[in-house]
Amino acid sequence: MWLSSLETIFWYIKCPEDQKVQCTVFMLTDRGTAWWETTERMVGGDVGQITWGQFKESFYAKFFSASLRDPKRQEFLNLEQCDRTVE
């Protein structure tokens, strides 16, 4: 997933938590940009108050319904490598 790829990049470049939202917003396009502009207006332009965790939660709620997320989460939890479960 796109957001997971960004998290990998953030880990690799050691991106500070307080900069992840701003970096991610820079990458948004189309519907993502429109969603962010609405979110930004809702917080009165003070996007610094939005944590990375809050951003992800809101992003997933908007673009990935629970009915799509839950089966994928379960699929991930049931992963096996050869005859062993993945921990």
**pLDDT digits over 48-78, tens only?**
888 999 999 888 888 876 666 566 666 666 7
**Is residue 85's pLDDT more than 80?**
no
In the prediction, which pLDDT does 77 show?
67
How many domains would you assign to the chain?
Answer: 1
The range of the structural domain enclosing residue 15 comes to 2-85
The β-bridge partners of 84 are 81
Average pLDDT (22-31) is 91
Can you tell me the distance from the alpha carbon of 68 to that of 56, in angstroms, rounded to the nearest whole number? 16
**Is residue 86's pLDDT more than 60?**
no
In the prediction, which pLDDT does 9 show?
94
Comparing 6 with 46, the larger pLDDT belongs to: 6
Whether the full predicted model's pTM is greater than 0.85, yes or no, is no
